[in-house]
Chains A and B, each alone.
Chain A
Amino acid sequence: MSLIKITSLSKHYLGADTVVALDGIDLEIHSGSFVGMMGPSGSGKSTFLSILGGLCQPGSGRVVVNNIDLYALGSEQLADFRREYLGFVFQAFNLIPYLTALENVMLPMAVMSLPAREKRRRAQEVLERVGLGTRVGHLPNQLSGGEQERVAIARALVNKPPLILADEPTGSLDSATSSEIMALLAELHREGQTIVMVTHNPENQAWFHRTVSLRDGLVASDIATAAPLRAAAG
């Protein structure tokens, strides 16, 4: 079943030297996929992820996620969409420094009308799921890089979104911790989670179910992986 349908997606940054970030991309991503978006710097992959995440208005084209035409929505509806349908995992973790791991995970629920106990229960559950059940009261600066990334993943999962968008989640981690994080993402994928991940690290390709390479704003290649590492991780 198609979860994401992208049609003729373009984005040009106008200026003295106009930059063509995306130049008419068509792409369909099925529910339950683990898709890697790869490409060199400036290939447009980060812009692609921003537009897919409802964070950046495209120049032209359509982005439909879960049958919702994103850029037909108003700014506030787009915010609601991000909260309900998306989970973001950022390269720099982007945790709030003055909130504990538990509070950071509860952040997407802060503006939801749920009982405090229910919010806490859900956050605790998802932190245990990523192996941080005993670190709930720690502030980000008391956690290692890998632990912070796990908190970020837990935060992305807490609202049970149909789609997780990850931007270089292993970019600032050593190789051992990177493998742990990739194994965790692969495990989530195996449980049915759809993940679109941007990376420039070719080692990560082994974990993907499908790899889309971008070059100069166009899809250069779109390859399905026959036996991804996810099977091995399982």
Chain B
Amino acid sequence: MNLRTIAFNNLRRRKGRMAFLLAGLLIGVATVVTLFSLTTSLTLDAEHKLDSYGANIVITPKRDDLSLSYGGITLAGVNVTQNELRMADLQRIGDIENFNNVAGIAPKVLGAVEIKGVRVLLMGVSPEVEFALKRWWNVDGRTLAEDNELVVGSSAAQRLGLATGEQVIIDGSDFVITGILQPTGSQDDELVIGTLALAQRLFAKEGLVSLVEVAALCAGCPIEEMVEQIAAVLPQAEVNAIQQVVKTRMHALAQFQTFALGISAVVLFIGALVVLVTMMGSVNERTREIGIFRALGFRRGHVVALIEIEAVTVSCFAGLFGYLLGMAATRMILPFLVEAHLEIIWDLRLAGGALLLAVVVGALASLYPALHASRMEPTTALRAL
């Protein structure tokens, strides 16, 4: 027999009241868990969507001139110096702190070639990296396997009258068209794509690259920090983040998180009020009982401890069931928010957090009723004496 025995026995006796208290707190915790796990799942979803968007950092050689291009109209710039990027230098990206966030490094060599008497832009790429990053590239035919193979953008193919399997001559060498890119609505439609080695040979840029695209694949990536880290290891390069994509996503998620926090706070506040009112009612119902405890030698602290043990016990159940209910709600709601890549994270830290939250809210909301009970004078409480 100790305070726990009394508390547990009382909880068993007052099932209805305790169920009400449990429900109040449980709904609060479940709401927090639902919103939190939804945010986590949506962040994860955004991460995968970013993956589909491809590269989000571009590395180009440092230029000393200003771009004279706007809205598709280009004027000749005054090129003072032109630094080159070396393939060997790209290995230094492996040294940056956030290299774990780098999902792919795609170097490119650009230059103009003449096919069937028409000048077109040829882009040399590392096929396995480039085609993996640009998931929106759908090729009719197949991608590149050899240095004498080409894939042609849809507009270029139409303009040049090229078809899959056709042979073309560039600088006196024969090449086979292995595939035609389906229209992408971008500049890629006007490209002829070959291997990196081919472009370096054609443009006499062995060991050099024109630009590099880097894919940093995580929603919470410190993109700006990564840009600084890459710029530090490649001082001769201009490193820029394609920030719109990342920032728009991050902004939307941040707004949702703020909204979720606000809703959680309101629901938890209501839950705390339910606990406060229920415990206050319970204390007033038990006036005589508390008087007996005090008459038998329970200190005020013992009475506070007794009420708090009851509150914390119910809160533990509310935390546990609130977590499970919240996860179940997430499972039901998530399909309406995310079209694909449905992923629910069973996070032990979230479970622990839900439990802690329930206990803290339950204990704090019960503090006033507990103090109120402890301040009752034994004679007032007993009335028998």
Docked CA distance A106–B301 (Å): 19
CB distance from A172 to the nearest CB of B (A): 11
Residues of A within 8 A of B378 (CB): 55-56
> Is A109 an interface residue when CB atoms closer than 8 A count as contact?
yes
> Is B78 an interface residue when CB atoms closer than 8 A count as contact?
no
Question: Size class of B's contact patch?
Answer: 20 to 34
Docked CA distance A111–B301 (Å): 10
Docked CA distance A92–B291 (Å): 13
Residues of B within 8 A of A49 (CB): 385
| Interchain CB contact under 8 A, B385 and A90 | yes
| Interchain CB contact under 8 A, A111 and B292 | no
Residues of A within 8 A of B384 (CB): 90-92, 94, 167
| Interchain CB contact under 8 A, A107 and B296 | yes
Within 8 A of A (CB), among B256-299: 288-289, 292-299
Looking at chain B's contact residues, the main secondary structure is helix
> Is B9 an interface residue when CB atoms closer than 8 A count as contact?
yes
| Interchain CB contact under 8 A, A110 and B295 | no
For A49, give the chain B residue with the smallest CB separation: B385
CB distance from B17 to the nearest CB of A (A): 13
For B14, give the chain A residue with the smallest CB separation: A98
**Residue from the list A46, A99, A107 in contact with B385, Cβ < 8 A:** A46
Residues of A within 8 A of B295 (CB): 53, 55, 82, 88, 94
| Interchain CB contact under 8 A, A99 and B9 | yes
Docked CA distance A161–B3 (Å): 21
Docked CA distance A137–B6 (Å): 15
> Is A103 an interface residue when CB atoms closer than 8 A count as contact?
yes
> Is B5 an interface residue when CB atoms closer than 8 A count as contact?
yes
For B11, give the chain A residue with the smallest CB separation: A98
| Interchain CB contact under 8 A, A94 and B382 | yes
| Interchain CB contact under 8 A, B300 and A119 | no
| Interchain CB contact under 8 A, B10 and A88 | no
| Contact (A76, B300) CB under 8 Å given A90-B384, A109-B1, A167-B384 | yes
**Residue from the list A55, A94, A103 in contact with B379, Cβ < 8 A:** A55
What 1/0 flags go to B369-385 for Cβ under 8 Å of A? 00000000111001011
> Is A233 an interface residue when CB atoms closer than 8 A count as contact?
no
| Interchain CB contact under 8 A, B6 and A79 | no
Residues of B within 8 A of A82 (CB): 295-297
Docked CA distance A140–B379 (Å): 22
Docked CA distance A83–B385 (Å): 17
Docked CA distance A81–B289 (Å): 19
> Is B249 an interface residue when CB atoms closer than 8 A count as contact?
no
> Is A220 an interface residue when CB atoms closer than 8 A count as contact?
no
| Interchain CB contact under 8 A, B3 and A50 | no
| Contact (A96, B6) CB under 8 Å given A79-B299, A79-B300 | yes
For A50, give the chain B residue with the smallest CB separation: B385
| Contact (A94, B9) CB under 8 Å given A50-B379, A79-B299 | no
> Is B48 an interface residue when CB atoms closer than 8 A count as contact?
no
Docked CA distance A119–B379 (Å): 27
| Interchain CB contact under 8 A, A53 and B385 | yes
| Interchain CB contact under 8 A, A75 and B300 | yes
Residues of A within 8 A of B9 (CB): 98-99, 103
Within 8 A of B (CB), among A68-105: 75-76, 79-84, 86, 88, 90-92, 94, 96-99, 103
Residues of B within 8 A of A155 (CB): 296
> Is A108 an interface residue when CB atoms closer than 8 A count as contact?
yes
For A198, give the chain B residue with the smallest CB separation: B385
Residues of B within 8 A of A94 (CB): 288, 292, 295, 382, 384
| Interchain CB contact under 8 A, B296 and A108 | yes
| Interchain CB contact under 8 A, B379 and A111 | no
Q: Kindly name the residue among A46, A55, A56, A82 whose own CB sees the greatest number of chain B CB atoms within 10 A.
A: A55
For B6, give the chain A residue with the smallest CB separation: A110
> Is A19 an interface residue when CB atoms closer than 8 A count as contact?
no
| Interchain CB contact under 8 A, B297 and A103 | no
CB distance from A21 to the nearest CB of B (A): 12
> Is B119 an interface residue when CB atoms closer than 8 A count as contact?
no
> Is A116 an interface residue when CB atoms closer than 8 A count as contact?
yes
CB distance from A164 to the nearest CB of B (A): 13
CB distance from A213 to the nearest CB of B (A): 19
> Is B13 an interface residue when CB atoms closer than 8 A count as contact?
yes
> Is B302 an interface residue when CB atoms closer than 8 A count as contact?
yes
CB distance from A200 to the nearest CB of B (A): 14
> Is B251 an interface residue when CB atoms closer than 8 A count as contact?
no
For A161, give the chain B residue with the smallest CB separation: B297
Q: Kindly name the residue among A83, A97, A111 whose own CB sees the greatest number of chain B CB atoms within 10 A.
A: A111
Q: Kindly name the residue among B5, B301, B384 whose own CB sees the greatest number of chain A CB atoms within 10 A.
A: B384
| Interchain CB contact under 8 A, B297 and A79 | yes
Docked CA distance A198–B296 (Å): 18
Residues of A within 8 A of B292 (CB): 90, 94, 96, 107
Residues of A within 8 A of B382 (CB): 55, 90, 94
**Residue from the list B1, B293, B298 in contact with A106, Cβ < 8 A:** B1
> Is B12 an interface residue when CB atoms closer than 8 A count as contact?
yes
| Interchain CB contact under 8 A, A108 and B297 | yes
Q: Kindly name the residue among B13, B295, B301 whose own CB sees the greatest number of chain A CB atoms within 10 A.
A: B295
Residues of B within 8 A of A106 (CB): 1
Within 8 A of A (CB), among B287-335: 288-289, 292-302
Closest 10 CB pairs of A and B: A83-B297, A106-B1, A98-B13, A82-B297, A79-B299, A55-B378, A50-B385, A108-B296, A98-B9, A56-B379
A-B contact pairs, 5 of them (CB 8 A): A81-B297, A88-B295, A98-B10, A108-B297, A116-B2
Where the two chains meet, the residues of A that have a C-beta atom closer than 8 Å to any C-beta of B are 46, 49-50, 53, 55-56, 75-76, 79-84, 86, 88, 90-92, 94, 96-99, 103, 106-111, 116, 119-120, 123, 155, 167
